[in-house]
Amino acid sequence: MFSFFLLTGILIISLFFFLLGYNRAKNLINLNQKNLHSLTHYYGIFCSLSALLPTLGVFFIFTICDDLVFAELVKEYIPNEVINSKDYNFTIVLAQINNSVEGLIFGTPPQWITNAAEIWKSWVIKSNILTMIVCAITILTSGFLSYKKIHSEFRSRNAVEKIVMTILAVSSVIAILTTIAIIFSVVFESIRFFALIPYDEFLFGTVWNPQFEGAERAGSGQEGLSQYGAIPLFAGTFLISIIALCVSVPIGLFSAIYLSEYASSKERAFFKPLLEVLAGIPTVVYGFFAALTVAPFLRSSGSMLGLDIASESALAAGLVMGIMIIPFISSLSDDVINAVPQSLRDAGYGLGSTKNETVMKIVLPAALPGVVASIILAVSRAVGETMIVVMAAGLAANLTANPLEAVTTVTSQIVTILVGDQEFESAKTLSAFALALTLIIITLGMNFYALHVVKKYREQYE
Amino acid sequence: MLCMLLKNTENNMNKKIINPEEATNIVKNSIVKRRSKDSRLKLFGRAAIGLAVCFLLFLFYSIFTKGYPGFFQYYVTLDINFDRERIDPKGDLSDNSLFDGDASAIVNESLFSIIEPKGRKEKKLAKKIVSSGKDVRIAKMVKDDPGLFGTVTQVKFALDDDIDSFLRGYIKRETPESERRINDKVIGFIDKLNEEGRISYEFSDYILSGSASGNPEMAGIKGAFIGSLLTLSVCLLIAFPLGVATAVYLEEIAKKNRITEIIEVNINNLAAVPSVVFGIMGLAIFISIFGMPRSIPLVGGMVLALMTLPTIIISSRAAIRAVPPSVRDAAYGIGASKLQVIFHHVIPLAMPGMLTGTIIGMAQALGETAPLLMIGMVAFIVDIPNSVVDPGTVLPVQIFMWADFAERMFIQKTSAAIIVLLGFLIAMNALAVYLRKKLERRW
């Protein structure tokens, strides 16, 4: 609430500076009886921007940093015997204190937590006052400094444009920052994971059985209790992707051929968006559909045929995922097939071939790189897909090639491990980050490969 | 390609040359086969599209038939004696006073007067027929209209979810008593209520205005809906300006050099990163390092904004590229500066395309679940969030949570929530299509 009011205050004051700058420019025009270099409103914008931006920076730094600083400071108020005790965990203690600050008190917390919470509250008030004062000083000084700059020779439009250009350039860096943040968050935790578990066990182990056992893996006679062999997860992911491809590749490809070669333009305009609807349905809906409609259906029809299908089977998840990725194949392939120049088709017809022969022997081979790329992209989509497998494929890490059994995938393990409360120190939590790292590497690798295929084998026409 | 053709001709040349008559015959004989092959391919294509459309229709059909009953539920009408002494002992209509009051006992008495249970055991069973939200309902009614005090009014109460499932026929009378969730005595009570005409099947007033609840008969999507709204507004406020600014910078301002190339590759890579990874990033950066609280729409919106950013950037760039250079030249020609050209001419002309991309990105964000699970928006939260820093959940996550619950009635409620979600997605996409059709200009 406090931040909200402060932000509104900052915005109002910068608006006020706009009016100041605007009026000063007007007065200058009246005084000198001569137009200024820039339009009047640029002087206002210059004033308000140069007041607003530094203040916003200060504001964000303060609001982000205060909790971090408090967390450091509060360490002094934790009694030594708690710190020295065996199961001391600072994150949990911090959470307890924070809950106490917010008035969420479960049972009767120890006295020192209540004390720390009281001190924390007083810090919050102090830091709020401090933030307010610093913001006020920044906005007033930078505002008045920019106000003083305005005189008859000042080129405010150029100044404003410089500021705006910088803002644009900075925002384009956000994309890079996001990538760095992703890599940073995944790689660091993965390194910690591989310090606990050797990477060859992770990559080549065949048993996946994570358990919470604290940071220490060795000792306490619990060795071998949890195992981090990711092969079953990769196998499950692979199995489900294969099933999905078996559904989506024939349907997607034949749809694409029909839409681009046989369909009238009206049919095409109707069916192409209709197929794309399949890609727009939220994955959680597919997951629900797979778990509550497809899986029971498969189970009952399987028992009629004498097959024992698990209620959470790879088949159900794979089938539904196949439906989901149909549009990725059909739409992309359709675009690629359409891009094959008409002259090739005409040449085929000129030689007396039927439409089938033209499509199969001339158009498709020419469009093949694009088609392959679309399939690879669809696979990378299937590998990274989460909700369907979480809801329909189960959690049992079976190493099996039987689509009727329950399998688990990389993404569904990530979700099960990281949802809910977790200790950040345990190998189990860290394993999710290692899984995420492999997931990123696999999907990005596939995307690069798809691009490479397109680039390398693309036929250059004209 | 060409090589293959050449090879083929070479092979053919090696064969002995056949006379034209023979050739015509060969072609004539094969033509039926070739034509049938042709129509087979066409048939396959039709079948493939038909199959895909069938899947789509079946999906919608299955969700709709399951979800339509979820908007309705069974109610029982009881005569409630609004005795102020008992409902509002302190007489000031405060929450405290209403909480101290004895509204549920009044409801139970009214119920007992109809079904006449004998003994404590039967009474205990009978009490469970009406949903446990009955006192809240009465409290709300007297707050809205204190004039009810002192009157005897007919009030509708939701029935417990097991009774509801029984009335819908999911729990069968024929099943042996020990395998049913409700026993014969309760069924007798329900029959009695039915004979009196007390039970009605009506549009549920919980599904749209209720919040998350462990009792399926009282569960509703309002909390999740508002959470979705808050999350999406944060997402929009961050992603739209950032996306447009990046697109403008890359298309109009930046020179083609190493750095812009890196940015472009980056954006394409981000579009390919699985959504769950964005959730992990949110967990590690926003929650662990910046110390932001879990389950709040602010963090959810930030994560979704980063996720939808590539979509918005890519479509905005396409829209900017579609603005013809002549427009820019004309603006330069009358003395506009670079930024004036961009902000006064290029952006307004590219706006429809940018908006279309943004709406599609927002639709993506609205349906996204996995990253929000990672940042803890899966917590069970009863209160409806008032601001972006109150803990809350969103529609898709609510659907995911409900799908996990065992009670039969949650299946209908989940499907009903899905219908609402799909309704919004269809509306957003239709808006995008409309904008594209209406505002897009061909140059």
Interior CA angle at B184 toward B179 and B188, to 5°? Answer: 150
Whole-number Å distance between alpha carbons of B117 and B306? 60
* Cβ-based contacts of B376 with chain A (< 8 Å): 419
Query: Would you call B242 and A179 a contact, using CB atoms and an 8 Å cutoff?
Result: no
Query: Would you call B48 and A182 a contact, using CB atoms and an 8 Å cutoff?
Result: no
Helix H, strand E, coil C: the string for B286-344 is HHHHCCCCCCCHHHHHHHHHHHHHHHHHHHHHHHHHHCCHHHHHHHHHCCCCHHHHHHH
Query: Would you call A444 and B269 a contact, using CB atoms and an 8 Å cutoff?
Result: yes
Q: Are A205 and A227 in contact (CB under 8 A)?
A: yes
**Distance of CA B247 to CAs B195, B275, B319, B326, Å?**
68, 22, 9, 20
Query: Would you call A356 and B38 a contact, using CB atoms and an 8 Å cutoff?
Result: yes
Whole-number Å distance between alpha carbons of A173 and A176? 5
Q: At residue A41, what is the residue type?
A: H
Residue B94 resides in a domain: yes
Tell me, yes or no, whether B432 and B283 share the same domain: yes
How, if at all, do strands B199-203 and A208-209 pair? unpaired
Side-chain-side CA neighbours of A365 within 13 Å: the count stands at 12
Query: Would you call A282 and B366 a contact, using CB atoms and an 8 Å cutoff?
Result: yes
Residue ranges of chain B whose pLDDT lies below 50: 1-2
Final residue belonging to a domain, choices B167, B201, B235:
B201
Query: Would you call B45 and A254 a contact, using CB atoms and an 8 Å cutoff?
Result: yes
Q: Name the residue in chain B with its Cα closest to that of A330.
A: B49
Backbone angles phi, psi at B80, to 5 degrees: -105, 130
Tell me, yes or no, whether B370 and B423 share the same domain: yes
Q: Which two tokens stand for residue A7?
A: 């932000």
* Cβ-based contacts of A178 with chain B (< 8 Å): 270, 281, 306, 309
Tell me, yes or no, whether B177 and B286 share the same domain: no
CB-CB: which of B51, B270, B433 is closest to A251? B51
Query: Would you call A436 and B276 a contact, using CB atoms and an 8 Å cutoff?
Result: yes
Residue B108 resides in a domain: yes
Final residue belonging to a domain, choices B201, B236, B269:
B201
Tell me, yes or no, whether B149 and B235 share the same domain: no
Q: Name the residue in chain A with its Cα closest to that of B390.
A: A1
Query: Would you call B339 and A164 a contact, using CB atoms and an 8 Å cutoff?
Result: yes
Tell me, yes or no, whether B91 and B143 share the same domain: yes
For chain B, report the end-to-end CA distance as a whole number of angstroms.
Answer: 37
Nearest in space to A373 (alpha carbons), one of A321, A329, A318: A329
Helix, strand, coil share of chain B (percent; to 5): 70, 5, 25
* Cβ-based contacts of A287 with chain B (< 8 Å): 400, 403
Nearest in space to A193 (alpha carbons), one of A367, A436, A388, A365: A436
Residue B421 resides in a domain: yes
A106 to chain B, closest Cα gap in Å: 17
Tell me, yes or no, whether B265 and B360 share the same domain: yes
Residue matched to tokens 């944060």:
B234
Query: Would you call B429 and A253 a contact, using CB atoms and an 8 Å cutoff?
Result: no
Q: Which residue has the higher pLDDT, B197 or A329?
A: A329
Query: Would you call B288 and A424 a contact, using CB atoms and an 8 Å cutoff?
Result: yes
Tell me, yes or no, whether B272 and B329 share the same domain: yes
Whole-number Å distance between alpha carbons of B369 and B365? 9
Tell me, yes or no, whether B179 and B244 share the same domain: no
Nearest in space to A17 (alpha carbons), one of A163, A138, A129: A138
Residue B25 resides in a domain: no
Element (H, E) at A445: helix A427-457
Query: Would you call B266 and A293 a contact, using CB atoms and an 8 Å cutoff?
Result: no
Residue B28 resides in a domain: no
B423 to chain A, closest Cα gap in Å: 11
Is the whole-model pTM more than 0.90? Answer: no
CB-CB: which of B42, B268, B306 is closest to A258? B42
Residue B313 resides in a domain: yes
Residue matched to tokens 């002192």:
B150
Tell me, yes or no, whether B230 and B301 share the same domain: yes
A171 to chain B, closest Cα gap in Å: 6
Q: Name the residue in chain A with its Cα closest to that of B59.
A: A289
Whole-number Å distance between alpha carbons of A355 and B44? 14
Per the structure, the count of domains in chain B is 2
| Mean pLDDT of the A34-50 span | 86
B66 to chain A, closest Cα gap in Å: 10
Whole-number Å distance between alpha carbons of B330 and B325? 9
Final residue belonging to a domain, choices B166, B201, B236:
B201
Ordered domains of chain A (ranges, CATH): 2-154 (no CATH), 227-457 (1.10.3720.10)
* Cβ-based contacts of B248 with chain A (< 8 Å): 168
Which tens digits make up the pLDDT trace of A225-283?
677 888 889 999 999 999 999 999 999 999 999 999 898 989 888 898 888 888 889 99
Whole-number Å distance between alpha carbons of A268 and A259? 6
CB-CB: which of A172, A281, A443 is closest to B249? A172
Residue B45 resides in a domain: no
* Cβ-based contacts of A1 with chain B (< 8 Å): 387
* Cβ-based contacts of A384 with chain B (< 8 Å): 273-277
Query: Would you call A172 and B246 a contact, using CB atoms and an 8 Å cutoff?
Result: yes
CB-CB: which of B254, B291, B370 is closest to A387? B370
* Cβ-based contacts of B339 with chain A (< 8 Å): 161, 164-165
Position A424 confidence tier, pLDDT thresholds 50, 70, 90? low
Distance between alpha carbon B422 and the CA centroid of its chain, in Å? 6
Query: Would you call A176 and B263 a contact, using CB atoms and an 8 Å cutoff?
Result: yes
Mutate to test the interface with A, among B54, B258, B304, B369 (most CBs of A within 10 A): B369
Tell me, yes or no, whether B249 and B371 share the same domain: yes
Q: Name the residue in chain B with its Cα closest to that of A441.
A: B273
Interior CA angle at B76 toward B72 and B82, to 5°? Answer: 125
Which tens digits make up the pLDDT trace of A69-127?
887 787 777 777 777 776 666 767 777 777 777 766 666 677 777 788 888 888 888 88
Could you tell me the residue range of the domain that residue B138 belongs to? Answer: 74-201
Tell me, yes or no, whether B141 and B228 share the same domain: no
Total residue count of chain A as it appears in this document = 462
Residue matched to tokens 């006449």:
B116
- How is residue A396 annotated by DSSP? -
If you count residue pairs, one on A and one on B, with CB atoms under 8 Å apart, how many are there?
Answer: 257
Q: Are A174 and B312 in contact (CB under 8 A)?
A: no
Tell me, yes or no, whether B172 and B311 share the same domain: no
CB-CB: which of A64, A323, A415 is closest to B276? A415
Which tens digits make up the pLDDT trace of A377-391?
999 999 998 899 988
SS3 B249: helix
pLDDT score recorded for residue B50: 94
B206 to chain A, closest Cα gap in Å: 22
pLDDT score recorded for residue B440: 67
Query: Would you call B249 and A168 a contact, using CB atoms and an 8 Å cutoff?
Result: yes
* Cβ-based contacts of B274 with chain A (< 8 Å): 383-386, 411, 439-440, 443
CB-CB: which of A255, A284, A293 is closest to B48? A255
pLDDT score recorded for residue B168: 82
Interface predicted TM-score of the whole assembly (ipTM), two decimals: 0.86
Query: Would you call B277 and A182 a contact, using CB atoms and an 8 Å cutoff?
Result: yes
Query: Would you call A185 and B242 a contact, using CB atoms and an 8 Å cutoff?
Result: no
CATH code for the domain in which residue B427 is found: 1.10.3720.10
Residue B111 resides in a domain: yes
